[in-house]
């Protein structure tokens, strides 16, 4: 998940933070204990034998110019085969069979490398060539695995801590084009009107066709206060759109809340950062302080590209009291990690409607899927993005790393979200709420000589607590969520015998025809 930074959006990262959700690990490659490297990115333990061999090979390849590069690469690859049987210094040495290398492909690689070094139109150093090779190797795996250069590593750090410079766009790749997953709330991109689903085709006059996402993202970054011109293709628009944005420091508040109307609250999570779980707890506390008689809550996960896995676990744990939240499976379909809820309930069982759409991805889908499986919330909106994989950041040096897909995650009931997404319980398409114009309808009270109701309430008109138009006139999905919560509250009140509206039964001994006269 990278707002105008390295990598693709909606990335679930393993981070060493489990303040609330209990974790059970079944992997020898669990997140490391102790202080976190580089601002909290959990990484898998680096096999010490591999580290030693890799260091030795680096010396052979780069420090010695006596032997050909291709011969050194062959030698290094062969040596590295024997390094994968060890996991950490604290674990016993487990001897595994060396993985066979396809020698023909190794030969082709080294020959291609030699041809590039000798025949490319411009001189290029070996270090850059090998870095290109690593990038290509990871890019060929899946859309979310990537090589992180020094700049990319810093960008990822900024993303998870919530502050960075840029224009505020979550981006991904689609058919060789840069797709806007979502503009971040209250950023230059969002204020200018860039929408989820837009395709970025040009930045400052440079066409982006087939340009890697990371490089396109770097074009959007720049000095604070400078401008950038972005060309957009939008469905339904005959011509490309052009937006001029001013770069600024993007400080992302991942959680915010407000009152919809008395008794009903709105909680928005824009992305899952390291401290999002804590922010949700604080928001729930604030909501209950402002509305002690809380009857319903709308949890808005629309256009949430995901983020930190543990943060999503903590959010789910704020709404359920037992059971599994999510689990991950690594290679070989072995359960790597499971997360379980704790018994306390900060939400106090308040009815919840969760809003999702095609921009809800990764960690947002974990939350929606878990609450759906536990029957804790009604999921409303449109089908989510469908990213069900977990990426782990593995440092290669102090300032470079790889982001590698290491597992798939599953909802408590064993559903995989990968390339499928979360189907809402109630499908509600996006739209605007408009009020019909015209004359007011005629009711019984408008008819001359109408019968009195016997309650002396002829002149009393019951006004709604709040006009829905005042709250959600521009958000059809949010209005539908609010209406559903009202209905749930009415039914719950009726079941508890607290329904304030009563129905009078016919007086005993008086026959009723059951036929109502139509208005004349």
302/503 Cα distance (integer angstroms): 40
Of 144, 149, 130, give the one whose Cα is nearest residue 54: 130
> pLDDT of 419-476, one tens digit each?
999 999 999 998 766 655 555 567 777 777 777 766 655 554 444 444 444 444 568 9
126/292 Cα distance (integer angstroms): 66
pLDDT value at residue 4: 43
- Dihedral through CA 486, CA 491, CA 493, CA 497, nearest 10? 160
Q: Which positions ≥6 away from 53 have C-beta within 8 Å? A: 76, 79, 80, 82, 83
CA torsion through residues 88, 89, 91, 96, sign: positive
As a residue count, the chain comes to: 520
312/57 Cα distance (integer angstroms): 40
pLDDT value at residue 121: 96
CA atoms within 13 A on the CB side of 23: 20
Vertex 373 angle, CA 370 and 376, to 5°: 80
Token reading at 69? 């590069």
Confirm if 338 and 23 have CB atoms less than 8 A apart: yes
Mean pLDDT by 10 residues, the chain (520 residues): 38 42 39 32 30 30 40 48 31 57 91 95 94 94 91 73 75 82 85 92 88 83 89 93 92 87 96 94 97 97 91 98 96 87 97 96 97 98 95 91 94 95 96 59 73 60 44 77 95 75 45 39
- By annotation, the residues acting in catalysis are 362, 373, 387
Q: In the chain, pLDDT over 90 holds for what percent of residues?
A: 49
- Which 8-state DSSP code applies to residue 337? E
Q: Which positions ≥6 away from 501 have C-beta within 8 Å? A: none
Confirm if 368 and 384 have CB atoms less than 8 A apart: yes
Token reading at 250? 């993007």
pLDDT value at residue 6: 34
Other CB atoms closer than 10 Å to residue 205's CB: what's the count? Answer: 7
Other CB atoms closer than 10 Å to residue 293's CB: what's the count? Answer: 7
What domains can be seen in the chain, in order of their start residue?
A: 255-388+407-427 (3.90.226.10)
Confirm if 305 and 9 have CB atoms less than 8 A apart: yes
Instruction: Find residue 177's DSSP bridge partners.
Output: 174
405/417 Cα distance (integer angstroms): 15
Q: Which helix (H) or strand (E) covers residue 111, if one does? A: helix 103-119
- What's CA 8's distance to the chain center, in Å? 11
pTM reported for the whole predicted model: 0.65
160/329 Cα distance (integer angstroms): 24
Burial code of 218-251, b = ≥16 C-beta within 10 A, e = fewer?
A: bbbbbeeeeebebbbbbeeeeeeeebebebeebe
């Amino acid at each position: 998940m990278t707002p105008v930074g390295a990598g693709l959006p909606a990335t679930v990262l393993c981070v060493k933070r489990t303040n609330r959700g209990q974790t059970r690990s079944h992997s020898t490659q669990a997140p490391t204990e102790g202080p976190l490297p580089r601002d909290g990115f959990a990484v898998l333990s680096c096999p010490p034998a591999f580290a030693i061999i890799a260091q030795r090979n680096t010396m052979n390849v780069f420090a010695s110019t006596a032997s050909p590069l291709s011969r050194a690469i062959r030698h290094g690859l062969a040596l590295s085969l024997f390094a994968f049987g060890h996991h950490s210094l604290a674990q016993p040495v487990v001897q595994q069979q060396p993985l066979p290398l396809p020698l023909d492909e190794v030969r082709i690689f080294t020959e291609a490398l030699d041809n590039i070094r000798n025949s490319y139109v411009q001189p290029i150093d070996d270090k850059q060539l090998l870095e290109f090779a690593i990038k290509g190797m990871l890019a060929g795996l899946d859309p979310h695995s990537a090589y992180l250069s020094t700049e990319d590593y810093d960008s990822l750090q900024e993303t998870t801590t919530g502050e960075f410079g840029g224009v505020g766009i979550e981006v991904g790749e689609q058919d060789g084009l840069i797709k806007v997953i979502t503009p971040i709330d209250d950023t230059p991109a969002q204020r200018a009107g860039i929408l989820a689903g837009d395709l970025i085709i040009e930045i400052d006059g440079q066409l982006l066709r087939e340009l890697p996402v990371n490089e396109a993202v770097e074009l959007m970054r720049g000095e604070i206060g400078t401008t950038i011109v972005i060309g957009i293709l939008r469905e339904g628009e005959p011509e490309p759109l052009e937006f001029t944005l001013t770069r600024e420091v993007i400080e992302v508040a991942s959680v915010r809340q407000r009152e919809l109307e008395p008794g009903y609250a709105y909680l928005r999570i824009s992305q899952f950062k390291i401290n999002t779980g804590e922010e949700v707890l604080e928001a729930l506390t604030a909501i209950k302080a402002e509305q002690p008689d809380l009857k319903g809550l709308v949890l808005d996960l629309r256009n949430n590209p995901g983020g930190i896995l543990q943060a999503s676990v903590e959010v789910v744990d704020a709404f359920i009291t037992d059971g599994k939240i999510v689990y991950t499976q690594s290679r070989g379909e072995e359960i790597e990690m499971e997360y379980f809820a704790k018994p306390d309930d900060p939400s106090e069982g308040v009815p919840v409607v969760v809003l999702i759409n095609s921009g809800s991805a990764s960690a947002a889908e974990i939350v929606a899927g878990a609450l759906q499986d536990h029957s804790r919330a009604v999921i409303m909106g449109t089908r989510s993005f469908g990213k069900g994989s977990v990426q782990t950041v593995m440092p290669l040096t102090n300032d470079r790393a790889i982001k590698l897909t290491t597992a798939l995650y599953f909802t408590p009931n064993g559903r995989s979200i990968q390339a499928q997404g979360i189907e809402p319980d109630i499908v509600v398409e996006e739209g605007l709420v408009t009020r019909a114009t015209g004359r007011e309808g005629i009711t019984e009270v408008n008819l001359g000589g109408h019968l009195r109701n016997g309650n002396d309430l002829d002149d009393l008109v019951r006004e709604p607590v709040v006009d829905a138009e005042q709250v959600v006139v521009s958000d059809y999905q949010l209005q539908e969520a609010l209406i559903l919560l009202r209905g749930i509250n009415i039914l719950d009140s009726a079941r508890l015998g607290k329904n304030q509206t009563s129905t009078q039964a016919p007086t005993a001994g008086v026959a009723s025809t059951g036929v109502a006269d139509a208005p004349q």
